[in-house]
Amino acid sequence: MEILKHAEKRTYGAIVIGSGVAGGWAAKEFCDKGIKTLVLERGRKVTHNEDYPTTLMSPWEFEHRGRLTNEEIAANPVVSKCYAFKEDAKHFMVKDAEHPYVQDKPFDWIRGYQVGGKSLLWARQTQRWSQFDFEGPARDGFATPWPIDYKDIDPWYSYVEYFAGISGNKDGLDSLPDGDFLPPYELTCVEKHFQKEVKRMYQDRHVIVARCAHLSEPREIHYQQGRGRCMSRNLCQRGCPYGGYFSSNASTLPWAAKTGNMTLRPDSIVDSVIYDSKKGKAIGVRVIDAHTNEMVEYYAKVIFVTAAALNTNAILLNSKSVRFPDGLGNDSGVLGKYVAFHNYRASLSAEFEGYADTKTAGSRPTSGYIPRFRNLYKQETNFLRGYAAGMSAGRGTHTDRESVGESLKNSLLNPKLNTNWYAGSHMMGETIPKETNKITLDPTKKDAHGLPLMHMDVSYDDNDDKMVKDFIEQFTEMYTKAGFTNIRTRDSKQAPGLDIHEMGGVRMGADPKTSMLNKWNQMHAVKNVFVTDGACMTSTSTQNPSLTYMALTARAVDYAVKEMKKGNL
Ligand SMILES: Cc1cc2nc3c(=O)[nH]c(=O)nc-3n(C[C@H](O)[C@H](O)[C@H](O)COP(=O)(O)OP(=O)(O)OC[C@H]3O[C@@H](n4cnc5c(N)ncnc54)[C@H](O)[C@@H]3O)c2cc1C
Ligand code: SF4
Predicted local confidence at residue 1, as pLDDT:
42
Residue 170 CA to ligand 1 centre (angstroms): 28
DSSP annotation of 245 reads B
Name residues contacting ligand 1 (CB within 6 A). Answer: 17-23, 40-43, 82, 84, 110, 112-114, 117-119, 121-125, 269-270, 306-308, 311, 315, 500, 533-534, 544-546, 549
Measured CA angle at 23 (ends 449, 334), to 5 deg: 70
Radius of gyration of the chain (CA): 24
Top mutation candidate among 128, 246, 546 for ligand 1, by most atoms within 8 Å of CB: 546
Residue 230 CB–ligand 2 contact under 6 Å? yes
Whose CA is closest to 442, among 103, 180, 88, 149?
A: 103
Q: How far apart are CA 519 and CA 552, in angstroms?
A: 10
The protein residue with its alpha carbon nearest to ligand 1, atom 29, reads 20
Top mutation candidate among 55, 225, 240, 367 for ligand 2, by most atoms within 8 Å of CB: 240
Q: Is the pLDDT of residue 473 over 60?
A: yes
Q: Is the pLDDT of residue 68 over 50?
A: yes
Q: Is the pLDDT of residue 60 over 90?
A: yes
The protein residue with its alpha carbon nearest to ligand 2, atom 4, reads 236
Strands 37-40 and 11-17: parallel
CB atoms within 10 A of CB 349: 16
Q: Is the pLDDT of residue 174 over 50?
A: yes
Q: Can you tell me which atom of ligand 2 is nearest the CA of 233?
A: 6
DSSP annotation of 64 reads T
**pTM to 2 decimals?**
0.97
Residue 363 CA to ligand 2 centre (angstroms): 10
Top mutation candidate among 52, 236, 246, 249 for ligand 2, by most atoms within 8 Å of CB: 236
pLDDT single digits (tens) 209-248: 999 999 999 999 999 999 999 999 889 999 999 999 999 9
Q: Is the pLDDT of residue 2 over 70?
A: no
The protein residue with its alpha carbon nearest to ligand 1, atom 9, reads 125
Mean pLDDT of the chain: 96
CA distances from 47 to 89, 249, 254, 546 (A): 15, 6, 9, 21
Cα 419 to the chain's mean position, in Å?
A: 37
Q: Can you tell me which atom of ligand 1 is nearest the CA of 110?
A: 53
Whose CA is closest to 37, among 562, 561, 569, 566?
A: 561
Predicted local confidence at residue 363, as pLDDT:
85
Predicted local confidence at residue 402, as pLDDT:
82
Predicted local confidence at residue 283, as pLDDT:
98
Q: Is the pLDDT of residue 330 over 50?
A: yes
Q: Can you tell me which atom of ligand 2 is nearest the CA of 245?
A: 3
Q: How far apart are CA 23 and CA 553, in angstroms?
A: 8
Query: Which residues face 370 on adjacent strands?
Result: 389
pLDDT single digits (tens) 336-372: 999 999 999 999 999 999 998 888 887 899 999 999 9
DSSP string, 429-459: EE----TTSEEEEEEEEE-TTSPEEEEEE--
Residue 166 CA to ligand 2 centre (angstroms): 13
Which H or E element spans position 287? strand 281-289
Q: Is the dihedral of CA 8, 263, 261, 154 positive or negative?
A: negative
Whose CA is closest to 432, among 377, 517, 496?
A: 496
Cβ partners under 8 Å of residue 504, min gap 6: 309, 337, 338, 339, 340, 433, 437, 534, 535, 537, 538, 540
Predicted local confidence at residue 5, as pLDDT:
57
Q: Is the dihedral of CA 497, 502, 505, 510 positive or negative?
A: negative
Residue 212 CA to ligand 2 centre (angstroms): 12
Q: How far apart are CA 298 and CA 301, in angstroms?
A: 11
Q: Is 83 exposed, middle or buried (0-12, 13-18, 19+ CB in 10 A)?
A: exposed
Q: How far apart are CA 365 and CA 232, in angstroms?
A: 6
CA distances from 391 to 194, 421, 424, 475 (A): 9, 13, 6, 11
Q: Is the pLDDT of residue 8 over 90?
A: no
Whose CA is closest to 369, among 539, 514, 517, 175?
A: 175
Predicted local confidence at residue 530, as pLDDT:
98
Ligand nearest to the CA of 289: 1
- Note whether 503 and 339 are within 8 A (CB): yes
Residue 240 CA to ligand 2 centre (angstroms): 6
Ligand nearest to the CA of 362: 2
Alpha-helical regions (H) of 295-357: 309-317
Residue 485 CA to ligand 2 centre (angstroms): 33
Q: Can you tell me which atom of ligand 2 is nearest the CA of 231?
A: 7
Query: Which residues face 214 on adjacent strands?
Result: 245
Q: Mean of the pLDDT values across residues 442-448?
A: 97
Q: Mean of the pLDDT values across residues 259-282?
A: 98
